[in-house]
Structure 1
Amino acid sequence: MSPTDLEAPPTASNGDAAPRIGPHPGYISSSNQYASELKIRRMLKENGCDPAREDNYRLQGVQLIDTVRQHLNLPVRTFDTACTYFHKFRLNFRDAEYNYQDAALASLFVACKVEDTIKKSKDILAAAYNVKNPEKPAASDDKIFESPGKIIIGLERLILETIGFDFRTRYPQKLLVKVVRSILGPDQGKEFFNISYAMSIDMYKTFVPIKRTTFSMVMALVELTARMTGNHLDKVKDFAAQRRQYHRPAVLETMLDILDLYVQYHKSTKVGTQFDLNRFMDIKIALNTELEKEFISRHMYYCSRCENEEPSPLTPGSITSPTATSSSLPGDLSMRRTARGQDGTMRFVFDPEAAREEQDTVAQYYNEEYEEYEVEVEEPIPVPRNEHPEGGGRGGYRGGHSHGPRDRGDHRRGGPYGGGYRGGDRHYRGRRFH
């Protein structure tokens, strides 16, 4: 075969050049750092999670991460990252597909790599075992951790795909130190900071870290601490009024989410046991009154009608489309699971704008464009066969003429065509694809 044969495009049967078939463009997954309350509820609803059971698993998983983190002397940055991965993973997978304890330890295992506090999977499993069984500690090289270690490594890949290989997370504790020092000074805010810091750990038992920015979380923690202690509330409001990035609806939603945690699970938090339950309820009533007075919605970008609507099912075309992404509601991983069974490759793009531009470019080659056309074709009248072997004269056919054995039924208009055969011109309709 000559080089020119390789370069020549294939030709179709009608002589037109057939489109060149290239490699499958694959599937694009773009990570999303934030999620709204509506999206979280719809994802939980699609997974079929029981609200009470989901809350218990979330609290117990975060508590396990915090306990193992303290046992291994890991920094709080690793805890923040692990909890963020844990929440995102549980939103994309059903509870029946995994054990929440395995998911929590696997999230901590991935967070240790991301934050450069590397620990082996068996080290994390051994720490979790020793926390539960302090009277019978086990070494990390014990054989009982071989099978759970394989499960942790298997979940690691799912967590990486869930976050889209986007390792960016938020650490409110670092900014919290700076804000408290700016408001109260380095000497006066020690006790104030201790309460805010403990509250920042409790905050990761909610979905606030995947909903709000770092500044909104910090300002909510500072204001909520001031309201519970009854001190420095005016200084906090003056500091917030001087900041251009301060967004009151986001701060109110964050404070109410944290208060819901303290009211419903009073004894499962660090700060909840330090204050009276009525104190949290009074602050919650005051914040709800402010919402009604200022006509602010409880949750940002929330629509009660959209929550009750059933998500539209995926069509076969949308599933197999090479430009389909996994960032659509209700689940980030629903399209990704389907893509694994296709021929294309899953690719992770960090910039959503770049992913959208690539989709628009590729979509031009997968759009089916066609035009209808009508062609007039002239057909000759076919010569019918003789149905009466004994007939050789004019009586051989009912509706035609015969001129002898050589020309029987040359102009017949009946017979097997039912008398309705017109012959002559016929019109055809079709579609021409581009």
Structure 2
Amino acid sequence: MAPTGPRSHASSRDPIDEPIQQPPIPDGVVPLDHSDPARGPHPGHVQVACQFTLEQKLRRMLKEQSYDPAREDTYRLQGVQLIDNVRESLHLPIRTFDTACFYYHLFRLCHRDVEYNYQDAALASLFLACKVEDTIKKSKEILCAAYNIKNADYPTTQDDKMFEGPARIITGLERLILETIGFDFRSRYVQKYLVKATRVILGSQAPKDFFALTYHISIDLHKTFAPIKHATWTMALAVIEMAARVTGTYVEEVRRVRPSDWHTSREDILEALFDLLDLYTHHTKATRLGSKHELNRFIQIRIDLNKEMESSYEQKEPKIIPYSCDACEMEPPPTGFTLAVTPSLTPSFTPGVTPGSATSPATAGSGSNPAVRRSTRGAEGTMRFVFDKEQAQKEQDAVNSYLHEDYEDVEIDVIEKVPEPERRNNKDRGDGWNPHPYPRNRDRRKGNRRR
């Protein structure tokens, strides 16, 4: 007789224990490995030196740093003027001034002005420029010259103990400037090419007064961002044209110049001219040329240049496109390796004295700044500085091939056997449960037996 109770266990030939045949994995599909991969050393960071900066990128960087336009112009002009005064005090050549201004502008673009004193940054730029141009000066010597310029009645020497703390700050800022420029020591000297261009355009009979005027304009040009935006020939032609328009002489000779013969374009020359005109119209007293001429003269030059731009749209000549572009200013920076002029990925240091304060240790010899500290980014990997952009891109692509996994989700049907639920014997339950609460011969509705 077959058992009437439920099965308490499955037999050995139950189909649940049989292995299920899975469909084969399609070709080209790699199964995911959920095990933790071996972790190697950090690949590090690649930083590429950047010699030129577009106007759109420059404005975007200033916007990211939340600069106040009026305060930014004031610190930029005062910093360059401090570099020029110390240079003249130490009898340094003009090429050292050009290099120091180039480093100073780049450093201020990559670091917020609340993190450092602009006077310390200017002197640190001059200190590094002296090494690059082989006109070596000690940091204490530069600090002493800046102090004696501000305190002419009480001069001191570089052996004074009050310069020990500021000297360490200058050295710390020097390391940050080196990282900002990407250890690229190439610089541009507009005065060297200015003399050659003047002799070619005006001839060898050009008066000495014209050369002196172009020299002063070239110094004023470094108070703008033109040195980090334009090539040497572009700045030289812009300085010559500005001198010709201010004096009203040699204007026709300058107009006959073909920018393509000088490896530049008319748009770049006009951009440098507009930078100079903005400087002369808004900050006249902070320039060498602005105080010697009337303001209406510079306004008239701007009007003439604007007419030239408008006439290029009406004629069949190549259109002169203004350098301002609102769409480009809002675009995010390109991804990939880090450029040297990038504020978001440039190491920062501990904030020091409030910018613009009169108690800067670099100029007053008093006060204190915390030691300059590097950021924690160096612990994540080695920072490498590369000059060749194409080579850096190849290295970045090779590293990304190992660090970034590109995979595609593929759905595969899997046959899975649903197991039969386990049955338990009711008699084994000890809670008094009865599967038949009413007898079979009893009517549960009336409580009587069936007849």
Q: Alignment partner for residue 116 of structure 1, among 126, 129, 134?
A: 134
Cα pair 1:65 1:108 within 8 Å, conserved: yes
- Which structure has the bigger radius of gyration? 2
- More displaced, 58-67 or 272-281? 272-281
Partner amino acid, structure 1, of 2:399: V
Conserved in 1, the CA contact under 8 Å of 2:266 and 2:320? no
Q: Deviations over 1:239-279 (max 9, x none)?
A: 44682524111111111110110111111111111211111
Residue 348 of structure 1 aligns to a residue whose secondary structure is strand
CA 1:379–1:362 in 2, change beyond 3 Å: closer, same or farther? same
TM score, norm. by length of structure 2: 0.76
Gapped runs of 5+ residues in structure 1?
1-13, 319-323, 399-434
Structure 2 residue ranges without an equivalent (≥5): 1-31, 314-318, 348-374, 437-451
- Does residue 376 of structure 1 match 2:414? yes
Distance (Å, rounded) in 2 between the aligned partners of 1:298 and 1:35: 18
Q: Which amino acid letter does the alignment assign opposite residue 414 of structure 2? A: E
Which of the residues 27, 39, 49 maps onto 1:31? 49
What is residue 126 of structure 1 aligned with on the other side?
144
- Out of 388, 392, 395, the residue aligned to residue 358 of structure 1 is 395
SS at match of 1:48: coil
| Change over 3 Å in CA distance of 1:387–1:59 after alignment to 2 | farther
Distance in 2, matches of 1:374 and 1:299, equals 58
Q: Deviations over 1:213-261 (max 9, x none)?
A: 1001000111111111111122223344682524111111111110110
Q: 1:264 aligns with which of 253, 269, 282?
A: 282
Q: Is the 8 A contact 2:233 2:262 kept in 1?
A: no
Q: CA deviation at 1:336?
A: 3.7
Higher helix fraction: Structure 1 or Structure 2? 1
SS in 1 for 2:285: helix
Q: Deviations over 1:348-387 (max 9, x none)?
A: 1111111111112221112213343536254573774848
AA in 1 matched with 2:233: F
Mean alpha-carbon deviation: is it higher for 46-55 or for 332-341? Answer: 332-341
- Inter-partner Cα distance in structure 1 for 2:64 and 2:95: 31
- The residue aligned with 1:306 is 328
* Greater strand share, structure number: 1
Q: Distance in 1 between matches of 2:282 and 2:378?
A: 42
Tell me the equivalent position of 1:427.
Answer: none
Separation in structure 2 between the aligned mates of residue 15 and residue 38 of structure 1, nearest angstrom: 46
Whether the 8 Å contact between 1:84 and 1:169 is mirrored in structure 2 is yes
Q: Secondary structure at the match of 1:266?
A: coil
Aligned-partner Cα distance in 2 for 1:245–1:389: 102
Structure 1 position 91 matched with structure 2 position 109: yes
Q: 1:218 to 1:340 in 2, by over 3 A?
A: same
Give the letter aligned to residue 64 of structure 1.
Answer: L
Residue number in structure 2 paired with 1:325:
337
State how far apart, in whole Å, the 2-side matches of 1:60 and 1:20 are: 54
Please name the residue that 1:165 is paired with: 183
Write the mapping of 1:7-406 to structure 2, written as runs, cut at 5 A: 21-240=39-258, 243=261, 245-295=263-313, 296=319, 299-300=322-323, 302-307=324-329, 309=330, 311=332, 324-327=336-339, 332-337=342-347, 340=377, 343-371=380-408, 372-374=410-412, 376=414, 378-379=416-417, 381=419, 384=422, 386=424, 390-391=428-429
User: What is the TM-score normalised by the length of structure 1?
Assistant: 0.78
Which moved further from structure 2: 14-23 or 195-204? 14-23
Q: 2:393 corresponds to which letter in structure 1?
A: R
Contact 1:82 1:110 in 2 (8 A): yes
Distance 1:397 1:135, change over 3 A: farther
Given that 1:180 and 1:189 are in contact with CA atoms closer than 8 Å, whether structure 2 keeps it comes out as no
Distance 2:237 2:423 in 1: 95
Paired residues, what number?
371
The answer to whether the 8 A contact 2:141-2:158 is kept is yes
CA distance in 1, matches of 2:384, 2:152: 44
In the aligned structure 2, how far is the partner of 1:168 from the partner of 1:354? 19
Contact 2:110 2:346 in 1 (8 A): no
- If asked which structure has higher relative contact order (CA below 8 Å, sep 6+), I would say 2
Q: Quick check: 2:259–2:265 contact (8 Å CA) kept in 1?
A: no
RMSD over aligned CA atoms reads 2.9
% identical equivalent positions: 51
Q: Report Cα offsets for 1:96-155 as digits up to 9, x if no partner.
A: 111100010011011111111111111110000011111111111111111111111111
Please say if residues 263 and 281 of structure 1, whose CA atoms lie closer than 8 Å, have aligned partners that are also in contact.
yes
